[in-house]
Amino acid sequence: MIKRRKSLWQRLKENSVAQTLSTILLPISFGVLILVFWQTQVLHKIFNTDTNTLPLPSRICRIIIDNHSAILVNALYTIIVAVVGLVIGSIIGYLIAVFAALFQKWGAGGLTIVGAFNAIPIVALAPVMTNWTKDVSNDPNIRSMVAKILVVMIVCIASMSINAFRGLTELKPFTLDLMSSYAASKKTVFLKLRLPNSIPYVFTAFRVSVPISIISAVVSEYFAEYIVGVGREIRENIVLGQYPTAWAYIVVACLIGLLMYGVLVAIESIVLKSRRVK
């Protein structure tokens, strides 16, 4: 029987190195193309705008370099709000998932309520939290930080609880049968089976929560009492008509998101690789 030679396209599709390069090079090439169109003002002609409303990338970079000290201070506040809210919200969400997994008769209904948190608009939640935390402290900085962290926390609870619940309950039937044959207690089943099985789902939740935490932190800073943070600077500069500076802070917000997501991917690869090795 004569075997037909595979086409070049088929060989590339089956080549893992080529697939890895394509997943990296294609997005980078697309991004470079957008930047070239942006810098050469092709995008301005397409969207019929000017270089003040949509400043050139070179000007945005120059503003970031010239104001790096102030930008770093505001970026630090935004990172603190996003990280603290993400951690607290994820812990609460995981505890809710554990309760729902252990007591599924009541927990499944509770997860539906928690999932409804995702339907709450951040622009509606942020001012409510700002007014709610007015009596937390006499220091406006503390009151503002608490309000912003609460917004991020509430938004992150839902994704963690839903994904962690799936990891705690979606087990292979033979694993539960094996545990039953060993007369394992509920505590042993949880620690040896449910908890390890939920780890990949936890990272899936983090993949959703990390971008949301940055967005929530930035939006909540629009309504914050204390004037600090990337979101607040975006708002203030837009109100003053300083669009290039506002764009500089928008770019910084994107860089914060990419940085946090990159850290998450690195941690995930280490943790899941060690689990596979075991």
pLDDT in tens, 79-104: 999 999 999 999 999 999 998 888 87
Answer whether residue 11 shows pLDDT above 50. Answer: yes
Give the list of residues 6+ apart from residue 46 with CB closer than 8 angstroms, or none: none
List helix spans (H) across the chain.
Answer: 8-14, 16-39, 42-47, 57-66, 68-102, 104-115, 122-132, 140-169, 173-181, 186-189, 195-222, 230-239, 243-277
Determine the pLDDT at residue 178.
73
Determine the pLDDT at residue 58.
94
**Higher-confidence residue: 212 or 191?**
212
| Domain 57-275 bears CATH identifier 1.10.579.10 | no
Answer whether residue 1 shows pLDDT above 60. Answer: no
CB 161 within 8 A of CB 114: yes
CA dist 218 and 100 (Å) reads 31
Answer whether residue 16 shows pLDDT above 60. Answer: yes
Determine the pLDDT at residue 261.
93
Answer whether residue 2 shows pLDDT above 60. Answer: no
Task: Kindly report which listed range (24-33, 41-50, 215-224) carries the lowest average pLDDT score.
Answer: 24-33
Q: Quick one: DSSP state of residue 55?
A: -
Task: Kindly report which listed range (1-10, 25-34, 128-137, 268-277) carries the lowest average pLDDT score.
Answer: 1-10
- Please report, for the chain, the start and end positions of each structural domain, with discontinuous segments joined by +: 23-52, 57-275
Answer whether residue 201 shows pLDDT above 90. Answer: yes
Nearest to 154 by CA among 75, 88, 221, 78: 88
User: What are the C-alpha distances in Å from 199 to residues 76, 152, 213?
Assistant: 29, 22, 20
Q: Which residue has the tokens 């709610």?
A: 132
pLDDT for 38-77, tens place per residue?
Answer: 999 999 999 898 998 899 999 999 999 999 999 999 999 9
260 token code pair: 């946090």
Mean pLDDT of the region 5-31 = 69
